[in-house]
Each structure stands twice: as C-alpha cells, then as structure tokens.
C-alpha cells in the first residue's frame, strides 16, 4: 500500500498521526474487471448519464465519476471536513499534487459544477477554481 504524502503544512503534520495504522494492512492482489486508463468509461450501459475517468494524483489509481449534469464524485481529489480540512479545497495528501491540478483543469473544462469529495460535504467547483488560480 502506497501512502500519499502530506502536500501542505496540515498534511505534513497529520500524516504521522493517521497513516501508521495502514502500515500493517495489506490487501490481496486482484485482476480488475474493467481497466480505466486515459479513455473515459461510459456508464450509459448501466443507465447512468456519465463517465468514469482516470484522475491520478491522490494515488496513481484514483478515478472519478463525472455525471453529464456537472456533478463530479472525486474521492480524495478534494476534501471538505474535519480532520482533513476546515473548508473545502484541494486534498492535504497526494502522491502527485501536480497531477491533481491537471485533472482538475480537465474536469473544469468539461463542465463540472458540483464536487462530491470522498470526505466531507459537497461544494461548488468555484472553490477549486479559486484554489488553482493561486497555485
């Protein structure tokens, strides 16, 4: 299991507190039924108007579900809640924060409006847009 590093002060301070519990956890290897790469995977065959896309950064295998309505279920590409953040924004842990920024630019260009993070409440994509302007 690869542990993402802290990418800001809060991430660097809290990583030693949260991640030691994962050092002794292992998961069995498996062969995926569907491999998501650089091509989006349509969910229309399941009656869902949207796609799954590969959004590496938090981890190399991270994915997001992007609905045609502009809703994005992004996992740990964003946080909005204790203990990770007090306000919505980019994650505090990532294997590659620059990849996360690139993925966000793709999601924004694709019409994403509402973010559903893996941790915390949903929020407007405007928060991410502002965050990217300063980085």
Question: How do the pLDDT tens digits run along the chain, 135 residues long?
Answer: 677 888 888 888 888 777 777 777 777 888 989 889 888 999 999 999 999 999 999 888 899 999 999 999 999 999 998 778 889 999 998 999 999 999 999 999 999 999 999 989 999 999 999 988 865
Burial class (CB in 10 A: 0-12, 13-18, 19+), 132: middle
| Nearest CA among 39, 59, 60 for reference residue 51 | 39
The answer to whether 96 and 56 are in contact (CB under 8 A) is yes
Identify the CATH class of 5-133.
alpha beta
Q: What does pTM read for this prediction?
A: 0.86
Domain ranges of the chain: 5-133
| Nearest CA among 40, 49, 39, 123 for reference residue 89 | 123
């Amino acid at each position: 299991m690869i542990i993402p590093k802290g990418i800001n002060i809060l991430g660097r301070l809290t990583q030693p507190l949260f991640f030691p519990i994962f050092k002794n956890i292992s998961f069995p290897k498996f062969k995926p039924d569907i491999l998501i790469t650089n091509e989006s995977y349509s969910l229309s065959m399941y009656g869902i108007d949207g796609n799954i896309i590969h959004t590496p950064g938090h981890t190399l295998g991270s994915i997001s579900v992007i609905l045609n309505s502009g809703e994005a279920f992004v996992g740990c590409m964003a946080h909005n809640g204790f203990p990770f953040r007090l306000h919505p924004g980019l994650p505090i842990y990532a294997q590659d924060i620059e990849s996360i920024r690139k993925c966000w630019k793709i999601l924004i260009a694709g019409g994403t409006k509402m973010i559903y993070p893996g941790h915390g409440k949903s929020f407007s994509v405007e928060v991410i847009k502002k965050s990217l302007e300063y980085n």
